[in-house]
Chain A
């Protein structure tokens, strides 16, 4: 009886080892294409919960070899992630545009500025500032798109000014 129990325990331990989640190590290569391949393999083998970390790792690797073509590599990686069902299409767009587009995803919204943006102006501007920092990484440090980053920075300043005026005008209308 104790012998049978030992066999059962060993069998249980072996099964539990087999179903353990993988280690989900970050990509080791400093080459972006190789790193993307490694990340893709890990992501479809149970590491999808660590998507954010993999994306950050890939950005850091790309910073080591910045070039305009990196934009395409990230776009294709995100389209693949969406096709594999790791991300929704909306999430993929959010990841791409937040880092590689001039437009601010923070400014997504369906209601008018007086009712939606103005009451949360400080938070909106703070979120934009954070997004600008991501754009600095994506546009400037990963893709060498200086012009794009400069435009995003300019857009941030313009939105700040226009929102200040618009929100003052909105609140004056309520007085």
Chain B
């Protein structure tokens, strides 16, 4: 009985302990459920980080800069084409001493200089944004695919969960980028990257590789073009006094046109799958 008063308060105390234990257990269960659902969600989302937000912004910016350059050059290149046509129609080839032909050649040279000036003004911006994109992608590719993956895991990433060829053909095919305006090309990249969240890792790896190699090539081309512009400008200034059209001029204009506005003849065909698809129900126990 002496213990009775003591025992009496222990009952609510024990029930309180049980209640708090119950609350704690429930909390742990809820936390575990949240963690599990988080883990499931993250398993469904791409695990490789190849396109940070900066890349998306850089692509957009590059597209804008390319469009500005195209707008600036389109009119000049159109004029150059007309002048060259007139030069040919006037049968000036081989008649360089003719004063009329010399005047035409000077006009072409002046337009060519104008084109070089516009390019000289726009190219640094272009180079800056292209290099930024390339550097971000380079880091991502090196870390995510180069250092964190073995050749086997890379293969599995590329293969993804795509079991059928029909799903493969639905993914973007970008190789062979000529035949497209530069701004259009970057716009397409931007659209693909901006909506890449819905795609699997396998598409992202191919997309990032394709854009990176293109940026690398473009960056090199811009670098070379910038080096050439100074030399070509000086040469043309000298030629102006003689009224000469050099083959180099025609070649440079042709090159600029194909880079900026695409070369319609160079659009590659995409091969289709061989006909017939047979259901493959059998899986060997040896299959890896």
Interface residues of A (CB under 8 A from B): 68-69, 71-72, 75, 78-79, 92-93, 96-97, 100-105, 107-114, 116-118, 124, 140, 144-151, 154-155, 158-159, 161-170, 172-173
A-B contact pairs, 13 of them (CB 8 A): A96-B284, A101-B287, A108-B152, A111-B150, A114-B146, A146-B277, A147-B273, A150-B165, A155-B159, A165-B209, A166-B142, A168-B212, A168-B213
CB-CB under 8 A for A107 and B155, given A93-B288, A162-B145, A172-B138: yes
Separation in Å of the A112 CB from the closest CB of chain B? 5
Whether B154 lies near A161 (C-beta < 8 A) is no
Contact B286 A75 (CB under 8 A): yes
Give the residue name and chain of the A residue nearest to B202 (CB): A158
A94 to B74, CA, bound (A): 58
B-chain residues with CB within 8 Å of residue A79 when the two chains form the complex: 285-286
Q: Which of A118, A148, A158 has the most CB of B within 10 A?
A: A158
A contact patch SS: helix
Q: Is B276 among interface residues, defined by CB-CB distance under 8 A?
A: yes
In Å, the complex CA distance between A154 and B175 comes to: 13
**Set of chain B residues within 8 Å of A166, measured between Cβ atoms:** 141-142, 145-146, 154, 209
Please name all residues of chain A whose beta carbon is closer than 8 Å to the beta carbon of B210 when the two chains form the complex: 161, 165
- Taking CB atoms, residues of chain A closer than 8 Å to B147 are 112-114, 170
The B interface, classified by DSSP as helix, strand, loop or mixed, is helix
B148 within 8 A of A: yes
Chain A residues within an 8 Å CB radius of B206: 158, 161-162
Chain B residues numbered 216-252 whose CB sits less than 8 Å from any CB in chain A: 216
Contacts of B275 in A (CB 8 A): 146
Question: Could you tell me the distance between the alpha carbons of A150 and B271 in the complex, rounded to whole angstroms?
Answer: 11
In the complex, per-residue mask of B128-160: 1 if CB is within 8 Å of any chain A CB, else 0: 000000000111011001111111101110110
**B150 partner, pick from A113, A154, A159, A170, beta carbons under 8 A:** A113
- Taking a contact as CB atoms under 8 Å apart, the answer to whether A100 and B284 are in contact is yes
- B254-288 vs A, CB cutoff 8 Å, 1 = contact: the mask equals 00000000000000000001111110101011111
- In contact, B278 and A112 (Cβ under 8 angstroms): no
Chain A residues in 8 Å Cβ range of B149:
112-113
